[in-house]
Amino acid sequence: MTTTNKAYNRLVIVGNGFDLALGLNTTYSEFILHYLKAEAKKYIQDPNTTNKLFTFENSSHYRVRPDYFNSKKTIKDLHSDLVSFLKMDIKNYFFEKILTEYSNSRWVDIEQAYYDELKRAFLDTPEGYHSMVKATNECMDILAKGLQLFIIEQQNNRPPDYIERFYTLAEQICESLPENRRKNIKDHAGNNPPESILYLNFNYTNTVKKFVELFRGENEILEVRIIPIHGSVDSPTNPIIFGYGDDTGDEYKTFENQNNPDLLRMIKSFKYPKTSNYHNLLGYLEKDRFEVSILGHSCGLSDRTLLKSVFEHKNCVAIQSYYYKDWEEFFFKTIEISRHFSDKPLMRERLLSFDETAKIPQVIPTWHTLH
């Protein structure tokens, strides 16, 4: 590959794996545990409390303390106890499905399960799917509200010095790629650092802001921006986006042809216009050549429309996927990335090879030692 003095930018895609690496327990399973425990506590303290996803009924045989369920560490055990002690009765089919079949899944799997449920409802009952779609959307709305409160609590409870262990990674992001990586980039820019960095934050937290501040003071010349593309719990004007983001499949085209907006209500493309974030991203992509660094994002189909726009963009010159564990994890991530390319030779050209130095450090949190 040849060397050029052309300027280039860097787009850093940040996903939930980044928050997990920093010690925030923001997994789907932890959220569901937190949500069910909170709802059970509210019911015990006030039996008139209602929930549209499920009901409780306190048997006269048991007197349950409000904190009784706090010790439960798995969704299966908690669900079993809620049924035994509070006669939990799930009223929403989709919630029952993700509670019992997706207890150890990722957020991207839940969003995929949502879309699969829409397809199942539509195909199985083409004349009477409307009520099932409404119920599924209602479940997603309720979970999104609970997720907002959960994320805020996680942010408030993290240790004050958690971000400092990531100084080396923050330093790497601001520098040029090592020679062993950049030599595989067509017309790479030699040892020149990027002109600017854009953090495309898919998380709802403010950890990226803290991460940028960690090294920002020593690079005041470098232009650094953050786009919270899926919203933020800290911003009422940029609410969190929770739904599905692939509008390229045949099923989606079928949904479009139906006179039912509920089929499309949770599609991310219709939520992006709430802010200028998506257009700001497109403007950045058009500005100059750019490298992509991926920190903790699953690159699943739930964000396919957006990721495809980035990876196949004419100005994208390279994609570096950072890993946290080993080659096997990196290998499966490349499979996920490949699904966003229609042009497979282009994918092989842009995707940089495994590099042991491209590793995300891991904070060992207290919650990890408890499981």
Question: Given a cut of 80, is residue 226 above it in pLDDT?
Answer: yes
- pTM across the whole model: 0.91
Q: Which residue has the higher pLDDT, 156 or 218?
A: 156
Q: What is the pLDDT of residues 119-150, one digit of tens each?
A: 999 988 877 799 999 999 999 999 999 999 99
Quote the CA–CA distance of 23 and 168 in Å, as a whole number: 17
The confidence score (pLDDT) of residue 370 equals 34
Confidence of residue 253 (pLDDT cuts 50, 70, 90): very high
The confidence score (pLDDT) of residue 366 equals 47
Question: Given a cut of 90, is residue 183 above it in pLDDT?
Answer: no
Rounded mean pLDDT of the chain? Answer: 89
One-letter amino acid at 305 equals T
The confidence score (pLDDT) of residue 158 equals 79
The confidence score (pLDDT) of residue 165 equals 76
The confidence score (pLDDT) of residue 352 equals 92
- Bridge-based pairing of strands 290-295 and 223-228 is unpaired
Answer whether 63's CB lies under 8 Å from 44's CB.
no
Q: What is the pLDDT of residues 13-61, one digit of tens each?
A: 999 999 999 888 999 999 999 999 999 999 999 999 999 999 999 865 5
Q: What is the pLDDT of residues 84-117, one digit of tens each?
A: 999 999 999 999 999 999 989 999 999 999 999 9
The confidence score (pLDDT) of residue 355 equals 87
The confidence score (pLDDT) of residue 367 equals 44
User: H-type helices in the chain, by residue range?
Assistant: 16-21, 28-45, 75-86, 93-101, 107-124, 130-157, 167-174, 179-182, 207-216, 250-256, 277-287, 304-311, 327-338, 344-350, 366-369
Confidence of residue 220 (pLDDT cuts 50, 70, 90): low
Q: What is the pLDDT of residues 276-308, one digit of tens each?
A: 999 999 999 999 999 999 999 999 999 999 999
Which residues make Cβ contacts (< 8 Å) with residue 179, sequence separation at least 6? 191
One-letter amino acid at 353 equals S
- Kindly write down the DSSP assignment for every residue of 156-192, as one continuous string: HHS-TTGGGGGHHHHHHHHSPPPHHHHTTSTTB-TTP
| Domain boundaries along the sequence of the chain | 9-25+163-369, 28-157
